[in-house]
Structure 1
């Protein structure tokens, strides 16, 4: 029974024609609280109607596309520094006074180029003395041989004893030994004289001179350091490899890989080389092994001690599935991508993500080439929910590999004339 019916049932049968019309009006005002007629009618209609359910939320729209299938080359990243392929400390092999310097500091020198001169006069005198000693020894040897020859011709006539012949033979042998010793002294003194002209043992860039003309220098391993020469073409790039990466490269590559390096202010890997050496053991303290790549450096631009980022290829290409990096989401400790079925239902697929290639993430496992991956609107997709799809396309985004090139700002500036 509704409210209106209920009120009518309890209303006294009074009318305006009743002998007590004022009593009827008082009853109506008491029953309805003195409300206006419009408000009363609205309240009655609302009370008599049922509550309508809220409208369903709109189905979100997302963009989907199949993964991009491409051949990619995978690289491992390393950090290292350049080193000279050869480094030689130039030290004197004889002691004496520096009388000449024949190169400029920092000059590129060739092998055999004259760098320093030590006063040669003492060594020239010693060589002359050794040659005189050699002449004397050769004269003694000639006399000993002549005496032996005469004695041997008289021994048949028994004009000389056999013991005398033996003594003369021993004298010839001693004289021959003296000649050999004199010849060795001549060669030694000639070397000393040659060592007064100090030449570059290798080709490369020389450091600055450590002594000036007029200084006395000492010979030997602990002697005076004159300069150093670094061979820069080719140049080496030294880096450390973790045990995990070392095992990976050992299994994937058998004959060395291609190395590409970029410098601190470069965005591209423009320096090409190859891996030519790995150490013979892993350092137990760091768990890493030392590796080395060799690069051509014809213009000597690369300098020892320079820092670089290197990527090392496995020597081949693999077919990979690529999706936008934003499509790969993190769900606790795993990586997932959202895929949409034909009925519009969304599912989260765990995947094994690989490296980034032109803004696209390599998917190693967990995805097929026919899956419809959510590439835009991933924040609207929920596993188990429904979505409307808009067909898109996965395309590479060519971005610079490294940080933007920033040159140090000038410390000062002046007005140009």
Structure 2
């Protein structure tokens, strides 16, 4: 094929393609420039339905939080005060015991024998004392008549005094033997909960043996530490009169497991190694929600802020420049409003220090569809947008068909 025919073929193909393009462009029913603009206007995004809540003003309690350890009010390791064979245990492991309750019985026979010997010795010495007193009394009657020498009279008087001392010693020995005999019954010194027994009946126990450990759970203490920079705040709050309230939360810091606690003691020194100071709180623990050795989150109320600005916690978003909320303006458009969160209020709200005013509306649900300047349909919490009308549905379908074209 010559060069001329090649050029002619290329020109023909180009003309054919140009004609097809012009035909498609002017095809009846195709979008005209004015129609395209009208379609874009109809295709604008409708207002985004969002839940909004006004900024409220309320009294907000200020809390200090820390990790605490539950500690029994009293912990007693019960040990026998005399040695001997353990006959029986009179408590049930893990069950409450009362103060004065018998916990264990040690073989009392040897101690009973010692007590009986002391009593017998007392009777013997009392008989001798009675004889000595009688002799001394008769001698006093005979001494004026010269029948008893003065030296013998003094000897009789000294014998009476000596036997009186012996009787007093016998009485003390009886009391000691009685105490030792009483120690064969091991008594609970407190109301508490019995732990796991340390010895079994039949074994010989000594004063170094631990029979059981008792813990007093009502009331119960929680020990916790706070940074030293909080010391002045806590001390000033405690000087204001009344006891500071304390609550115990679970490890997830989501649920209160014990309330009604009060701050009892602020330690008298700061730990130089940690820069913290210790505090002791006391809880009634009526339902046994707290257990010795348990770790809990402690919330100490130190004061109340009057008229704080409060919004739901889910309204606060985290951005690269800090916290912000979507603020609904008068024309129902939104803007990103930077805020500074002062503290949490309960489990679902926060107090805002700066950035908002009372009565302003913030978006709490639907933020993921928003950007600055978006038009919104503000709804109250729990309210749902109305169902679309037939006209709106038709427009939506028409717009869908046009976009498909």
Q: Report the TM-score, using the length of structure 2 for normalisation.
A: 0.69
Partner of 2:247: 260
Q: 1:147 to 1:180 in 2, by over 3 A?
A: same
Cα displacement (A) at 1:318:
3.0
Whether 1:91 aligns to 2:76 is no
1:302 aligned partner: 290
- For residues 360 and 252 of structure 2, what CA distance do their matches in structure 1 show? 41
Paired residues of 1:67 and 1:369 also in contact (CA < 8 A): yes
- Residues 200-247 of structure 1, C-alpha deviations (whole Å, 9 max, x = no match): 22222212222222211112xxx1111111122222222222223333
- Evaluate the alpha carbon distance shift between residue 186 and residue 238 of structure 1 in structure 2; reply closer, same or farther with a 3 A threshold: same
Change (3 A) 1:333 1:253: farther
Mind listing any 5+ residue stretches in structure 1 that lack a counterpart? 1-34, 40-57, 396-417
Q: Which residue of 2 aligns with 1:277?
A: 264
Structure that is richer in helix per residue: 2
Contact 1:351 1:367 in 2 (8 A): no
Q: Within the alignment, does 1:363 sit opposite 2:352 as a pair?
A: yes
Q: Secondary structure at the match of 1:281?
A: strand
Q: What is residue 387 of structure 2 aligned with on the other side? A: none
Is 1:209 the counterpart of 2:209? The answer is: no
Counterpart in the other structure of 2:220:
235
CA distance in 1, matches of 2:112, 2:83: 14
Say whether the 8 Å CA contact 1:262–1:271 is kept in structure 2.
Answer: yes
Q: 1:82 aligns with which of 58, 65, 70?
A: 70
Name structure 2 gaps, 5 residues minimum: 1-13, 19-43, 383-405
Larger Cα-atom Rg: 1
After TM superposition, give the deviation of residue 331 of structure 1 in Å.
Answer: 7.7
Higher strand share: 2
Secondary structure, counterpart of 1:112 in structure 2 = coil
- Deviation for aligned residue 1:97: 0.9
Structure 1 residues 278-287 or 370-379, which shifts more?
370-379
Deviating more after overlay: 369-378 vs 350-359: 369-378
Post-superposition shift, 1:93? 0.8
- Aligned residues of 1:66 and 1:393 also touching (Cα < 8 A): no
**RMSD (Å) for aligned C-alpha atoms:** 4.0
Task: State the Cα distance separating 1:184 from its structure 2 match.
Answer: 0.7
8 Å contact kept, 2:112–2:181: yes
Change (3 A) 1:283 1:118: same
Instruction: Give, in whole Å, the separation in 2 of the partners of 1:355 and 1:266.
Output: 12
Matched position secondary structure for 1:282: strand
Q: Deviations over 1:106-141 (max 9, x none)?
A: 232222222221111111111111011111221232
Instruction: Provide the rounded CA distance (Å) in 2 between the counterparts of 1:150 and 1:364.
Output: 102
Seen in structure 2, the aligned counterparts of structure 1 residues 89 and 133 have a Cα distance that, compared at 3 Å, is same
SS in 2 for 1:191: helix
Q: Corresponding residue for 2:11? A: none
Distance in 2, matches of 1:180 and 1:91, equals 31
Q: 1:360 to 1:301 in 2, by over 3 A?
A: closer
1:44 is matched with none
* 1:101-112 matches, cutoff 5 A: 101-112=89-100
**Closer, same or farther: CA 351–104 of 1 in aligned 2, 3 Å:** closer
Q: Aligned residue for 2:35? A: none
How far 1:187 sits from its partner (Å)? 0.8
Match of 2:139 among 127, 132, 151: 151
Question: 1:68–1:394: 8 Å Cα contact kept in structure 2?
Answer: no
2: CA distance between counterparts of 1:298 and 1:345? 51
Q: How does 1:12-411 map to 2 (within 5 A)?
A: 66-219=54-207, 223-254=208-239, 255-264=242-251, 267-278=254-265, 279-300=267-288, 302-314=290-302, 316=304, 318-325=306-313, 328=316, 351=340, 353-365=342-354, 367-369=356-358
Counterpart-to-counterpart distance in 1, 2:286 and 2:334? 61
**Contact 1:76–1:311 (CA<8 Å) still a contact in 2?**
yes
Once the two structures are TM-superposed, the CA of residue 198 in structure 1 deviates from its matched residue by 1.4
For residues 374 and 100 of structure 1, the distance between their equivalents in structure 2, rounded to whole angstroms, comes to 70
